């Protein structure tokens, strides 16, 4: 007689499902961060100055959303486990893991951007150009100011200045104009439309002077 097949226990099945959902979460989270970084880099390359207020609002929204996922994930796990609804259980695990690990990181990022905004405003609005002046104005350490200024310049929050580590000096140099050798936009590769003063990209809106 053939041996009767014994199905795996519910506990083993749940363990496999949990591990599978956790692995899927790690892959999705890694790809999301990578894709977001690429979009952020491309946006910075096409725009000279980035509005830090918009980034702060986005960071706040994401922080709230991920916090809500953590709160909502726990009841989903309970319902899915007690009623053996695997889809609900998996969704609850994913939401809980994202909320548990992502929520602190997002709130820390939001707080750092709020602190960075004070330094950006001190430079761009109050015209403070030395680390010492900004540190006294904001009552923070010189090292923190230096780090925030470097971050602000890298992220295009602070533009038009050259920073030597201590003093911000107005950049008097003009960026070299890009030469048009074909009918394609040097920025995005889109088609160019001829205007009275030069060329305009119909996709990204960049303007170029005639040679």
How far apart, in whole angstroms, are the C-alpha atoms of residue 184 and residue 193? 9
Q: How many beta carbons lie within 10 A of that of residue 165, not counting itself?
A: 8
Q: Are 88 and 76 in contact (CB under 8 A)?
A: yes
Q: What is this structure's pTM?
A: 0.58
pLDDT tens column, 7-61: 444 444 455 455 555 555 555 555 554 445 444 444 443 444 578 888 999 999 9
Domain extent listing, the chain:
10-170, 181-211
Q: What is the 3-state secondary structure (H, E, C) of 126-189?
A: CCCCEHHHHHHHHCCCHHHHHHHHHHHHHCCCCCCEEECCCEEEECCCCCCCCCCCCCECCCCC
* Distance, CA of 11 to CA of 163 (rounded, Å): 60
C-alpha neighbours within 13 Å on the C-beta side of residue 118: 16
How many CB atoms are located within 10 Å of the residue 184 CB? 13
Q: pLDDT tens digits for 61-117? A: 999 999 999 999 999 999 998 988 889 999 999 999 999 999 999 999 999 999 999
Q: Look at phi and psi of residue 84 and say left if phi exceeds 0, alpha if psi is from -120 to 50, else beta.
A: left
């Amino acid at each position: 007689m053939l041996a009767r097949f014994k199905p795996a226990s519910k506990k083993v099945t749940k363990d496999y499902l949990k591990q599978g959902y956790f692995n899927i979460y790690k892959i999705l989270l890694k790809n999301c961060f990578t894709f977001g970084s690429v979009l952020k880099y491309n946006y910075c390359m096409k725009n000279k100055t980035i509005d830090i207020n918009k980034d702060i609002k986005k960071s706040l929204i994401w922080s709230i959303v991920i916090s809500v996922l953590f709160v909502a994930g726990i009841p989903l796990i309970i319902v899915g486990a007690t009623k053996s609804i695997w889809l609900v259980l998996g969704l609850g695990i994913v939401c809980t893991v994202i909320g548990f690990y992502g929520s602190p990181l997002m709130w820390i990022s939001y707080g750092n951007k709020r602190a960075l905004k004070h330094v950006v405003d001190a430079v761009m609005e109050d015209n403070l150009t030395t680390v010492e002046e900004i540190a006294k104005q904001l009552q923070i350490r010189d090292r923190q100011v230096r780090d925030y200024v470097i971050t602000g310049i890298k992220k295009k929050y602070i533009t038009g200045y050259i920073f030597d580590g201590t003093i911000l000096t107005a950049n008097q140099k003009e960026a070299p104009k890009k030469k048009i050798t074909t009918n394609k936009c040097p920025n995005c590769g889109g088609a160019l439309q001829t205007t009275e003063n030069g060329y305009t990209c119909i996709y990204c809106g960049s303007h170029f002077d005639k040679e």
